[in-house]
Structure 1
């Protein structure tokens, strides 16, 4: 089974399971698009474009706060390039990746992730609210680099965003930070730290 088919199957099963167990009025579906790049490292360039679907359900609501459980299937399209010869020559690169043709060449990577997390939000006006989001989940990456092995890894995301209610939908902007690693389960695990911004529409039911 290919990675894309596996990703689609996990998404469908997750959607059916959550939808079947939740009261319809407490449920929401969102669609998001994001852009990102590497954080604090000049030895390589890492740019990503990604799309995600968010399934959310209300856990608890008070006068000042709302707590939601979220599930986020996501697909990333990444362009990765090494930009420093000294960095490229370090000991952990002494492998098949050492071929001269790899230096400054662009690699195209696809990541598939399924994050689970929580959102805590609070209103600042009748239409505006701010929220804090944290999530973690498994990820599959289809290309090995000197920073992360091909295959299984983890995606960790922290986001602070703003939401605006328009009629029956919610428009969101989410700057966020993410960390990608495999927790030492694979041979290469330096990982990536990225900064991102995503835009989306959320439809409550």
Structure 2
């Protein structure tokens, strides 16, 4: 099952299945900036057919769903910008039987830069270690626009699906986090091709705490 369908299930289930604590439901908890780097071969060699790496900046916003003494559930909304690089490495990925195969290889095999504009929405589960620190997991998905054709994904509308695991430390009205990120980009077969792009990496965020 794709991440976007898991995210929708979690949002519906946990959004209505937990009672709120001292924080009002849907209260804006924190806002901040997140910077990240990921690539197709960060530490897991996923596919030798191509390279794909991204640098991103995100405007990250968290809203309360429910909070208990040791755990909380949050809504995450993240408008994001990715600057990406991509290159087809496998000459035979484009079959020699394709009539315009040489033309397509000449188009797709050079290293190219791309822009990705994304709006991700998801859920956060947070487990508190003490008053100042917590560990968390996020699952989010959302629409995006990519401005460059590749052999794996058509230029235009697509979806960005993200799973993260991280640690947050709070110091008065400011907090910081670091997390490991797993990301998949595809267009749900709305256009061809739709082989998708995968990346694994790290993100670092700093936030202003609003509660």
TM range (shorter): 0.7 to 0.9
Correspondence for 2:204 among 185, 196, 199: 199
1:32/1:200 contact within 8 Å kept: yes
SS in 2 for 1:137: strand
Separation in 2, partners of 1:131, 1:118: 10
Separation in 2, partners of 1:142, 1:180: 13
Aligned to 1:28: 30
Aligned to 2:60: 54
Aligned to 1:109: 114
Determine which structure has the larger helix proportion and give its number.
1
The answer as to 2:77 corresponding to 1:75 is: no
Q: How far is the alpha carbon of 1:100 from its aligned partner?
A: 2.9
Q: Which runs of 5+ in 1 are unaligned?
A: 1-21
TM-score where L is the length of structure 1: 0.81
Cα RMSD of the aligned pairs, angstroms, is 2.3
TM-score where L is the length of structure 2: 0.79
| Residues 64 and 100 of structure 1: CA distance in aligned 2, closer, same or farther (over 3 Å) | same
Aligned to 1:187: 192
Correspondence for 2:140 among 128, 135, 142: 135
1:93/1:146 contact within 8 Å kept: no
2:28/2:61 contact within 8 Å kept: no
Correspondence for 1:98 among 104, 107, 112: 104
Aligned to 1:45: 51
| 1:134-186 C-alpha deviation (Å, 9 max, x unpaired) | 10100000001110001000010000000011221110001110110000001
The answer as to 2:170 corresponding to 1:165 is: yes
Q: How far is the alpha carbon of 1:56 from its aligned partner?
A: 1.4
Q: How far is the alpha carbon of 1:91 from its aligned partner?
A: 6.6
| Residues 162 and 94 of structure 1: CA distance in aligned 2, closer, same or farther (over 3 Å) | farther
Separation in 2, partners of 1:72, 1:79: 22
